[in-house]
A = this chain, B = another copy of it.
Amino acid sequence: MTFPWLVADVGGTNARFSLVTAEDGSGFQFEHTQTLPTAGYLRFEDCLQAYLAQLPAALSKSVCAGCIAMAGPVVGDQVSFTNLDWHLSRSALQQQLGWNQLCLLNDFAALACSMPHLADADMQPLLPGTVVPRAAKAIVGPGTGLGVAALVYTPVGWWPVPGEGGFTAYAPQSPRELAVAALLQPRMYLYTEALVSGGGLVLTYNSLAEIDGLAERASEAAEVVDLALQQQQPLALEALQMFCDSLGTAVGSAALLYGAKGGIYLGGGIVPRIADFLVRTGFEKRLRERGRQTAFMADIPVFLITHPYPAFLGAAAWLQQQLVNANG
């Protein structure tokens, strides 16, 4: 195959770009990786051009294909970014760039596509279990939002099933979670991501404070994590515990819906910072204790993705698959 390809991972805050310059038996080669803040650009196209413009001109001109992973739903030829006022037409951009192939992919679909290409060293086991070969895998990651996707096996290999799983209705499972839901429901549609994300940890902390008549308020997830883990503040500890419990509920429900006997894989920015805490909370109990389906959930393993750029890897793998299909 002809290289280089461009891969991108576009979130609400940052757009990350890289060039795939080669693929050998051990994997894809990534070069010229760079992060641009999305706030500086009116359109995705401008952000992409800014990345291309700072590459050596000959290299920039030689890019022949690309795959862009972004936080938002891809519907037909169009994509809307969930946390940005950007819209994109795949075919129009491909024509403008003159590339042979341009793919748009939901960012968690890209993460899902990376799964078969991750080495053991790219994942840390969090909870034990058995990966059933060719069974569906669930990928869930709390960060700015809550990304959810599945990867299912078909006769043409692994196939991603992306969605907007962060926007499923929140399922409170304890008296305190019910109290938070009762407080917030009159104000908003209470979706899972509203509580199980960086902003959701802050909302949980502030809601618990409001319910208990305390003056404490936080504005950043890092602040609540610090109050909990370093300062052992009881309110922050409870909020972080509730975050972990609710993540267990959400992750287990996604795994049930997908029939994910192929394993649960956690991505996103938050879990790596709290992994030791997470396994000491109600996370596992929430994940596994599912009435008549407890046996079904009992031996599903949970991994933390530790690879630094799994979305690049997934985007490259997806693009390769599309190029193979296009060329027969």
Contacts and interface: CB of A to CB of B under 8 A. Distances in A.
Interface of A: 73, 75-76, 80, 82, 106, 132-133, 135-136, 148, 150, 152, 154-156, 159, 161-165, 167-175, 178, 181-182, 185, 188-191, 194, 249, 252-254, 256-261, 289-293, 295-296, 325
Contacts of A75: 132, 135, 261, 296
B82 A292 contact: yes
B167 A73 contact: no
Nearest to A72: B296
Contacts of A164: 256-257, 259, 293, 296
B165 A256 contact: yes
A162 B259 contact: yes
Contact of A73 (B73, B159, B185, B259): B259
Contacts of A295: 80
A70 to B, nearest CB: 14
A170 B171 CA distance: 6
A115 to B, nearest CB: 16
A169 to B, nearest CB: 4
13 contacts: A73-B261, A154-B154, A155-B325, A162-B259, A163-B258, A165-B257, A167-B256, A169-B173, A169-B252, A172-B178, A175-B182, A178-B181, A254-B257
Interface of A is mostly: mixed
Q: Which of A163, A182, A188 has the most CB of B within 10 A?
A: A163
A190 B167 CA distance: 20
Contacts of A172: 171-172, 178, 181
A164 B295 CA distance: 12
A74 B96 CA distance: 47
Contacts of A133: 76
A224 to B, nearest CB: 22
Contacts of A181: 172, 178
A76 B135 contact: yes
Contacts of A169: 171, 173, 249, 252-253
Contact of A168 (B136, B171, B292, B296): B171
Given A152-B161, A154-B156, A156-B154, A257 B168 contact: yes
Contacts of A132: 75-76
A51 B37 CA distance: 66
Contact of A161 (B136, B182, B189): B136
Contacts of A252: 169
Given A163-B259, A296-B164, A173 B156 contact: no
Contacts of A167: 253, 256, 290-293, 296
A121 B205 CA distance: 52
